[in-house]
Amino acid sequence: MSKQLNSKRVVSIYWEHSKRYKKKLWIIYPSMVLAQVVEDFIQPLIISYILTSLATRNLDQLKNNNLVLILLALALTEAFGLFMWNRLIIPLFWRTQEKIMRDLSMTSFDHLQLMSARFFGDRFAGSLVSQVNKFVNSFERLSDALTWNVFKLIVSLVATTIILFPKAPQISIAILVISAIYTPLVWRYRKKQLPTNQAWAAAETERTGQLADAISNIMAVKSFAGEKAEHKRMQSKVDAVFDRSMDTLRMNTRHESITGSVQRSINVSVIVLSVLLAINGNIDIGVIYLALTFGIAIMRRLWDLNMTFRTVTRVFGDAHDMAEILDTKPEIVDIDNPQELEIKDAHIDFKDVTFAHEKDAEPLFKKLSMHIDNGEKIGLVGHSGGGKTTITKLLMRFMDIQNGAISIDDQNIANVKQTDLRRHIAYVPQEPILFHRTLSENIAYGQPNATQEQIEHVAKLAHAHEFIKDLPLGYKTLVGERGVKLSGGQRQRIVIARAMIKDAHILVLDEATSALDSESEVLIQKALWTLMEGKTAIVIAHRLSTIQKMDRIIVLSEGKIIEEGSHTQLLAKKGAYANLWKHQSGGFIED
């Protein structure tokens, strides 16, 4: 996407979210016009009248027109402005702006949730957080700049022309001409800054990603004495941000030396023309006051416009990455009008499945077929890279196949909603990752409406209650980011309890006991067999003792099923499985 199209897309997204609040916008902006006209133009007109009367010594006329009422009108304009800005416009604008930012946050979050595992595998989590925050906060900066600077400048130019042109057309024309030259000149220069600002924003995103990566892996850094190496990596990211910032500064300084001189010419022009007209007796002191007041006000707003365009280009730079992500279609999508998944037997079929991890890459699976009966317990074994975990990811539609079909109870999983499919599968991943929430919340994630009694029941089955009860806060203990406060075995027991409480028709265990010691594994195995009763289960394990009691064991190698049968049958064949069993070390398959 070109930079210009991307900028238009950013504006389009912001407008799509803003127009949801059109009624409030129709209150805010007309109210701003009224308040600005009263405060910035009606008040100077009253003062102009007073000055003209004083200068011409027409005090009787001033008294006849009731000086008290005139001064009262001045006070009322101040009170009116104070009320409109502080009690109506600013609170309503702020509230509406926050609502739009809230919606942008949820749009970004919901879109990210639709993205595939591959999408997240290619990106730093910290960078994505940074991109979302920049995108949302950029709306605030853009709407502030356009509202308080651009919109008020337009109102000032229109009102100045209407009031000043009949009294001093030369001054009015001079202001309009200089403004007409200045505005496109500034925008032209600021557009040239856009690539520099995008590079600056990208460097900041990389810095955030590096910071998040180092902090989330801080124990690895410490254990490998990698502080100096990480310092060097972080220094390079910080230096890149500084360099891009200086690039922007140098470009900004060059441009502002030109635009600043044009902008300041308004003040000079107004003063010179006012003096010349006054000498020739063409305008009175009140008009000079108006010309100087309006001219200085517009000069100030034009200077603000310079800063506004600077903000706008930075906004487009900051919002660039997230706008592209929002325009990136999810890799895994539901079909229109998906079927409802109805599971009765929970038998699973892989029929002629072809799958490659990357487009145009050599397929891992070529017409793979596999049937799993209702309630059957299947063990998947084989060396790393054989396709074991990929089978479970395809079943859960974390990735999509290129050809063939995967079905549950003869329903193609591609024809049902992803959320509906995954509701019927309890999944224990290879790496037990927890939310930075309480232990109760982490376990109940499998069943959000679970009672504390149900939570503690599955915790006991998973032998997690044994350590939870000894914690100072028990089930209310916060586990830290990714469960860092718990040991690997403790985390694994929690995710097993989470799978238990879900009570789904299909159970997928990917190295579910790999982080447990031998004693804990024996206890967990009993709980898992209880959990698997009446369910269709797929279990991946390097530790063959974990799956030797399975109904059937499938041996995978390079995406192909090379053997299948019970533990006893496969040992009798004296093939690949028997060889794996023979060469285990400590109960694990040697890669």
Q: Do 346 and 409 contact (CB within 8 A), yes or no?
A: yes
Q: Say if residue 267's pLDDT is above 90.
A: no
pLDDT tens-digit map of 478-489? 887 767 778 777
**Percent of the chain surpassing pLDDT 70:** 84
389: in domain: no
Query: Per-residue pLDDT tens for 468-480?
Result: 998 888 999 988 7
- 315 closest CA partner among 146, 502, 522, 71: 146
Q: State the average pLDDT over residues 518-547.
A: 78
Residue that the structure tokens 């038998």 belong to: 347
Mean pLDDT of the chain: 82
Please report whether residue 519 resides in a domain: no
| Predicted local confidence at residue 277, as pLDDT | 64
| One-letter-per-residue 3-state SS of 357-412 | CCCCCCCCEEEEEEEECCCCEEEEECCCCCCHHHHHHHHCCCCCCCEEEEEECCEE
Give the pLDDT mean for 430-435.
81
Query: Which CATH number fits the domain that encloses residue 278?
Result: 1.20.1560.10
Residue 510 placed within a domain: no
Report d(CA 252, CA 311) in Å as an integer.
12
pLDDT, mean of residues 114-121 = 83
3-state secondary structure of 458: helix
pLDDT(351) > 90: yes
Compute the distance between CA of residue 325 and CA of residue 134 in angstroms, rounded to an integer: 13
| 460 pLDDT higher than 60 | yes
Task: Answer whether 0.85 is exceeded by the pTM.
Answer: no
- In a domain? residue 507: no
Pairing of strands 365-372, 536-540: unpaired
Domain that holds residue 79: 3-205+245-326
At residue 263, the pLDDT reads 54
Assess if residue 379 is contained within a domain. Answer: no
Q: How far apart are CA 123 and CA 502, in angstroms?
A: 30
**Which of 10-14, 23-27, 304-308, 433-437 has the lowest average pLDDT?**
304-308
Question: What is the number of domains present in the chain?
Answer: 1
Does 190 score more than 80 pLDDT? no
Which tens digits make up the pLDDT trace of 284-338?
Answer: 777 777 777 887 787 778 777 777 877 887 788 888 888 989 998 888 888 889 9
Tell me which DSSP letter residue 197 carries.
H
Q: Identify the sign of the CA torsion 377, 381, 387, 390.
A: positive
Q: Assess if residue 385 is contained within a domain.
A: no
* 471 found inside a domain: no
Bridge partners of residue 371, in order along the sequence: 349
**Closest by Cα among 170, 580, 189 to 388:** 580
Beta-carbon count within 10 A of 144 CB: 14
Summarize the confidence of residues 444-462 as an average pLDDT. Answer: 90
Residue 307 lies in a domain: yes
pLDDT above 50: residue 585: no
The strand ranges marked E within 414-525 are 425-428, 506-510
